[in-house]
Amino acid sequence: MKQVKHRNSASKILIIGTVFLFTFFNPVFGQEEAVADSAVATEASAGGDAAKGKALFNSLCAACHKRYKKMTGPALFGVADKYEREWIYSWVKNSAAMIASGDAQAVAIYEEYNKTAMNAFPQLTNGDIDNILAYVMEPKAAPAVAAGSGSTVAPTSSDSGVSTDIILAGLALVFLMLVVILFLVNNTLKRFAEASNIELPEPEARTPIWKAFVQNQFLVLVTAIFLLLASGYFVYGYFMQVGVDQGYQPIQPIHYSHKIHAGDNQIECKYCHSSARVSKHSGIPSLNVCMNCHKSIGEVAETTATEDYSKEFYDGEIQKLYKAVGWDADAQKYTGETEPVKWVRIHNLPDFAYFNHSQHVSVAGVECQKCHGPVEEMEIMYQHAPLTMGWCINCHRETNVKVADNKYYEKIHSELSKKYGVDKLTAAQMGGLECGKCHY
């Protein structure tokens, strides 16, 4: 008999693989490094309540100040170390009086920030100011993402601390080992059969499926008819979608979240698209409209971040806005160096179709969401409606004309309501289906 070499190789492979697997699956529980305690009060903020100070800061100071960054006024972190406490009390309660008295420090701050007057807060007690100082003197929290990591979203971990990648790699290794073992067993059985003169059954020769199909004329006829009908259906559907851009969602040069602006902050659509009230077009807001708010908002709150978009991402988009409009956030002034923003148009009607925003928004009182969908829920704006001719006609047939407090429609409404015998008229009954209404 021929000697079999390496007869224990398979068991060795299994043992080595098992050891390797359990080595990587052994959960390691480590303690996170301690972060600097931001609640420890410095000498300057001793005795203050940071929680109460935060509420006061957000209601009275946040419009002009940030803790760690200059805005309309200076950054307030470290201010208690820079100035005496009594001087701060006087400055907060009545800065104008200190400037008028010729106080050197007060005049210097006034000159440094372009002679921007600070509001007086005589209603604040010294204890209130101490609370504010306790809040602004808290050290800046360390970022949650580990140093050197390029990820904008903190990775999630399981309770055991085992990485998902390690689990998948282990399962893949086990699967590969099983495949190899099955292959070796199959070859061993074949050699055993040959050595024992056992004949293995030969697979029966079968007619190829394509030959069987060609020989069946009924199946060929049915398949041909089906393919012709399916081709006609898909060709018709393709041509009917030419020029229909429903769902179109381009990436803009500056990320603008309608969800944050129109949804979370409840900014009215017509604040930015003001020309929709009086013009055919809704208009693209100028960057000056953006700067009405973002002159004072250089970064978003921590709670704004989502799983898809981090705080760093939103702050970076605001910096793009500053670069385009030429705004120096540190100096709080325009540099005059501007760049055009090449916005990508989303809603676009054919040139032969006429649509007037003011007629629908101001006269008919149609809400923006009627055509544009739930804009307040869109992180990235997209075309919600198909904007086809049939879609517009259906809207005219189903929508009643708003005649309340609208003298423009009073006479024609009274005459047409008698003609049709109805109390309310649709846009179609008032001529909304005439070709000349939309085509000219």
Looking at residue 13, its pLDDT comes to 53
Per-residue tokens: 330 = 């540190």
CA–CA separation, 358 and 184 (whole Å): 78
Q: What is the pLDDT of residues 163-220, one digit of tens each?
A: 888 899 989 999 999 999 999 998 888 888 888 888 777 777 788 888 888 889 999 9
Q: Pick the residue with more confidence: 144 or 266?
A: 266
Looking at residue 186, its pLDDT comes to 86
Q: Pick the residue with more confidence: 56 or 384?
A: 384
Looking at residue 144, its pLDDT comes to 54
Residue 21: closest CA among 182, 185, 178: 178
Per-residue pLDDT, averaged over 236-243, amounts to: 88
Per-residue tokens: 294 = 């973002």
Per-residue pLDDT, averaged over 295-310, amounts to: 91
Q: Is the pTM of this model over 0.95?
A: no
Inter-residue contact 134 to 49 (CB < 8 Å)? yes
CA–CA separation, 398 and 404 (whole Å): 18
Rounded to the nearest 10°, the torsion over CA 297, 299, 303, 305 is: 130
Helix 126-136 and helix 85-93, axial crossing angle in degrees, nearest 10: 110
Looking at residue 116, its pLDDT comes to 81
Q: What is the pLDDT of residues 358-369, one digit of tens each?
A: 999 988 889 999
Q: What is the pLDDT of residues 34-47, one digit of tens each?
A: 333 444 444 444 56
Looking at residue 14, its pLDDT comes to 52
Instruction: Provide, rounded to the nearest whole percent, the portion of the chain with pLDDT above 90.
Output: 41
Q: Pick the residue with more confidence: 334 or 66?
A: 334
Mean pLDDT over all residues of the chain?
83
Average the pLDDT over each of 65-74, 84-93, 255-264 and give the range with the smallest value: 65-74
* Position 329, amino acid: A
Looking at residue 41, its pLDDT comes to 40
Q: What is the pLDDT of residues 394-404, one digit of tens each?
A: 999 998 887 77
Whether pLDDT at 325 is above 50: yes
Per-residue tokens: 200 = 């293995």
Whether pLDDT at 25 is above 90: no
Q: What is the pLDDT of residues 401-420, one digit of tens each?
A: 877 777 767 777 778 878 88
C-alpha distances in Å from residue 23, one per residue of 20, 140, 162, 167, 170: 5, 40, 12, 12, 10
Phi-psi region of 27 (alpha: psi -120 to 50; beta: other; left: phi over 0): beta
Inter-residue contact 219 to 226 (CB < 8 Å)? no
Element (H, E) at 272: helix 269-272
